[in-house]
Amino acid sequence: MSPTHSKKCNRRYRYYCCTNAQKTGWSNCPSKSIPAKRIEDFVVQQIRHVGTDPGLIADTIAAANRESEEERDALDAELRLLKKDVQAWTQELPTATAGRQADLHERLAAAEKRATELHEARAAILVIDPAEVTAALADFDKLWAALTPAEQIRVVELLVERIDYDGATGRVVVTFSPQGTLSLGVAA
């Protein structure tokens, strides 16, 4: 579904409309549209629920920390390959021709720059502190009320990976983004 709106009597009505119905005909979707406030309130309720469910918090933090560990491992692997290349180029340098030496110096400079980028990226990867996230989510209502609508949208975009709505059953499934939860922990 995608967000849309209509105007009637100088009043704006927001709702989500079935993309499939828009593209292939209204008969192809059991629920053509739903009021935006209804689905958005449900999503916020699910975000609030994250802060009250210790198991869900633990699972989300574990998933985010696994993702961080995988990212660290990938950066470390690239650093190891880069180090091997630098060693090979450094060993070759004394016996290389003048043209090859210039090429090797360029490669070494580029490798040094890339190594710095990799170290900075690795240092920027954070591990979530469960206590910080739990504390931030426990005061969700207070935090949510203090945010501007634009900030609320940003939080939802950050935390929610996708929302699936089944028009036939009226079932809504909210899938949270582990990386977004990691960012929320940092912001808290």
Q: Is residue 140 part of a domain?
A: no
**Threshold 0.85, pTM exceeds:** no
Residue 186 clears pLDDT 50, i.e. is over it: no
Domain range enclosing 86: 68-124
119: amino acid identity, one letter: H
Q: Is residue 133 part of a domain?
A: no
- Write down the pLDDT at residue 178: 63
pLDDT band with cut points at 50, 70 and 90 for residue 171: confident
User: Per the structure, how many domains does the chain have?
Assistant: 1
Rounded Cα gap, residues 97 and 63, in angstroms: 51
Rounded Cα gap, residues 42 and 172, in angstroms: 8
Q: Is residue 27 part of a domain?
A: no
Q: Is residue 114 part of a domain?
A: yes
- Write down the pLDDT at residue 180: 55
Q: Is residue 94 part of a domain?
A: yes
**Residue 174 burial (CB count, 10 A):** 21
Q: Give the percent of the chain with pLDDT over 70.
A: 93
Query: What average pLDDT does range 137-153 have in this prediction?
Result: 81
pLDDT digits (tens, 9 = 90+) for 20-68: 777 888 787 777 788 888 888 888 888 787 667 777 778 777 877 888 8
Q: Is residue 180 part of a domain?
A: no
Q: Is residue 84 part of a domain?
A: yes
Helix, strand or coil, per DSSP, at residue 148 = coil
* Residue 29 in tokens: 């979707």
Q: Is residue 151 part of a domain?
A: no
